[in-house]
Chains A and B, each alone.
Chain A
Amino acid sequence: MKKRRQTIEQRKGKNPAGLSILWWLLGLVIGLIWIFPFYWMVITSLKPEAYILSSTSLFPEKITFEHYVTVFTKAPLFRWIFNSVFVSVVVTLLRLGLSSMAGYALARMHFIGKKLLYLVLLASLMIPDEISIVPLFIWVLKLKLNDSYWSLIVPQLAGAFGVFFYRQFFLSFPGDLEDSARIDGCNSFQTFRKVVFPLATSATTACAIILFSFVWNDYMWPMLVAFKTEWMTLPVGAAIFNPVGFQQTGSRYGYGTAMAVITVAALPTLGFFLAMQRYFIQGITREGLKG
């Protein structure tokens, strides 16, 4: 018994002082590796261009907002923010509706072809999206839907991720509730709308956050279908200020401007993540462990 208590105490961190200092240092190093790049981004965006290339000072010697002024005057930044918000919100809401219903049917209903459908959807998760990019792009050109919300939104609705997410959730849903709803005279749709969906809030929150971040951070497809700058989303538009530049021609902008535009692009999602961290992590855990 005594021995057992000892080992448990050891495990609970009653380490010699040396190890504890090492633990602190390790934490500091890990923290710095992951947070310093963001810090450096913000600091660089606040330095006058003349200082940026020559100084490695960790604090700006002289604070300037000129890069932010440049970014907001040279680019339709508010339009990009609006496009990103609009596309992400619409895609997330539509996908939540479509996926919850499909996931519910796959989890709780008996119908012909269910097994086949399940396998097809599962296989689609393994197929890289890039396979449909060429044909979808051809269709977008044919229908002249480039530079429109249609091309930014509709192709994003077909992903099977949400369906599996909800299916997983509904598999463990208590069946009594459905039975009693049915005895009260609800049909399948009423049962779903009035009983099942309202009780799936935790799954919906987690799924919404994950889907939103997928869409918000998406790069390749929105880049392909936005020809004019005003139809770009934030991640696509921000790349105009990339100092490397497409085809390595180099952009006209310096690092200060580049860091300013990505600071603007990063802050909304970083803030959102910090506020919603708990749900975000819950969602990933659920999807990761069982999906």
Chain B
Amino acid sequence: MDAILRSGKDGNIGSPGRQGKFRYKGKLVDWAAYAFIGPYMLLFITMKVAPILFGIYVSFTDWSISRAPRWVGLENYLRAFTDPWVAQVWLNTMTITLLVVPGTVVVSLLLALYVNRKWRFSNLVRTFVFAPKAVAITVTAMIWVWILEKESGILNMLLAGLGLPKIAWLTSITWVIPSISMVTIWWGVGYNMIILLAGLQDIPQALIDSAHLDGANDRQVFFRITLPMLRPILGLIITLETIAALRIFGQVQLMTAGGPGGRSATIVSYIYSTGFQRFDLGYAAVLSLLLFLTTLVFSWIRFKFYGDQDN
């Protein structure tokens, strides 16, 4: 009994007796923890860590499905440097990211502010905006393929009705990336709106009231109180949205299959067509590492400029 209480005082919450003899950093080691974490770690190592290591190995080979793989050294890496498609898909991905991330942040913030005000239909609007996130990307992409259809899609019909020219949303070089970005924003804002809404509701009302009392107008309150208070959440959203945007694939594959002429192909589209349509798996492994490096650079930039207050 005494031992139990003492172990509790040490901050050790494992079971006492035969387990609680070994100390690490001043606290008794709880050996049972390894049994708790073991099953998950087994899967983590076999399905996450091992594939990454094996993927690095594959990137040095000419792995394909038809013949035995050969070690080719840095050939795949050198190829990536001179492949004009790599530059193209990287640029496409960057453009989409630069449209989607700020777009999502601004739109979801505006929506959160809208929904935050008590109003009869606030909850209904919130539900509507979130709805796309509850369906698969296939559903979202196919709905928009039909709405954005060039000849009979409802959006162009509307434009024609207003006397404006029809736009080739998904088949012109100019419009394809804006269209895909727009659909991605439409799909994803609901989720971020909910997170921001929770953040807005955490801001103490007294703070806002006293600012008003001191003569601050709504705009000042927004820029001096609301926005700084939301800063950690905005940082989180920017991080998550950036990682998601760099990985964009489903909507591109389903809406344009990378077209026209590869102008909407993203890094993951290129991994897909290289690895799983042409079965050039060694090269696809290099492209996956390129995606990883890009993500890493973005995380580093965000960390550098934003600090780690949200972690």
A residues sitting closer than 8 Å to B (CB atoms) are 3-4, 7-8, 11-13, 23, 26-27, 30-31, 33-35, 37-38, 40-41, 44, 52-54, 56, 98-99, 101-102, 104-106, 108-112, 114, 117, 121, 124, 126-139, 141, 154-155, 157-158, 160, 163, 175, 178-179, 182-183, 186-189, 191-192, 213, 216-217, 219-220, 224, 234-236, 238-239, 241-248, 255, 258-259, 262, 265-266, 269-270, 272-274, 277, 280-281, 284-285, 288-289
A219–B195 contact, CB under 8 A?
no
Instruction: List the A side residues contacting B257 at CB < 8 Å.
Output: 244-248
B residues sitting closer than 8 Å to A (CB atoms) are 1, 4, 8, 11-16, 24, 27-37, 39-41, 43-44, 46-48, 50-52, 54-55, 58, 63, 65, 111, 114, 117-119, 121, 124-125, 127-139, 141-147, 149, 151-152, 154, 157, 170, 186, 190-191, 194-195, 198-199, 202, 208-209, 212-213, 233, 236, 243, 246-247, 249-250, 253-257, 259, 268, 271-272, 275-276, 281, 284-285, 288-289, 291-292, 295-296, 299
CB-based nearest A residue for B31 = A111
Instruction: List the B side residues contacting A175 at CB < 8 Å.
Output: 13
Q: B309 CB to closest chain A CB, in angstroms?
A: 13
Please tell me which one of the listed residues A27, A126, A192, A216 contacts residue B299 in the complex, with CB atoms under 8 A apart: A126
Looking at chain B's contact residues, the main secondary structure is helix
Bound CA–CA A21/B157 (angstroms)? 28
A26–B51 contact, CB under 8 A?
no
B135–A265 contact, CB under 8 A?
yes
Given A138-B58, A220-B249, verify A40-B146 contact (CB < 8 Å).
yes
A30–B129 contact, CB under 8 A?
yes
Given A56-B154, A284-B195, A289-B198, verify A134-B16 contact (CB < 8 Å).
no
Residue of B35, B36, B117 with most partner-chain A CB within 10 A: B36
Instruction: List the A side residues contacting B144 at CB < 8 Å.
Output: 37
A136–B131 contact, CB under 8 A?
no
Q: B73 CB to closest chain A CB, in angstroms?
A: 18
A30–B125 contact, CB under 8 A?
yes
A98–B43 contact, CB under 8 A?
yes
Please tell me which one of the listed residues A27, A53, A179 contacts residue B119 in the complex, with CB atoms under 8 A apart: A27
Please tell me which one of the listed residues B39, B130, B131, B133 contacts residue A101 in the complex, with CB atoms under 8 A apart: B39
Given A133-B271, A163-B40, A258-B142, verify A285-B194 contact (CB < 8 Å).
yes
B117–A13 contact, CB under 8 A?
yes
Bound CA–CA A136/B54 (angstroms)? 9
Q: A111 CB to closest chain B CB, in angstroms?
A: 4
Bound CA–CA A265/B66 (angstroms)? 36
Please tell me which one of the listed residues A23, A54, A98, A134 contacts residue B281 in the complex, with CB atoms under 8 A apart: A134
Given A34-B186, A285-B194, A289-B199, verify A239-B48 contact (CB < 8 Å).
no
Q: A153 CB to closest chain B CB, in angstroms?
A: 11
Please tell me which one of the listed residues A112, A137, A192 contacts residue B29 in the complex, with CB atoms under 8 A apart: A112
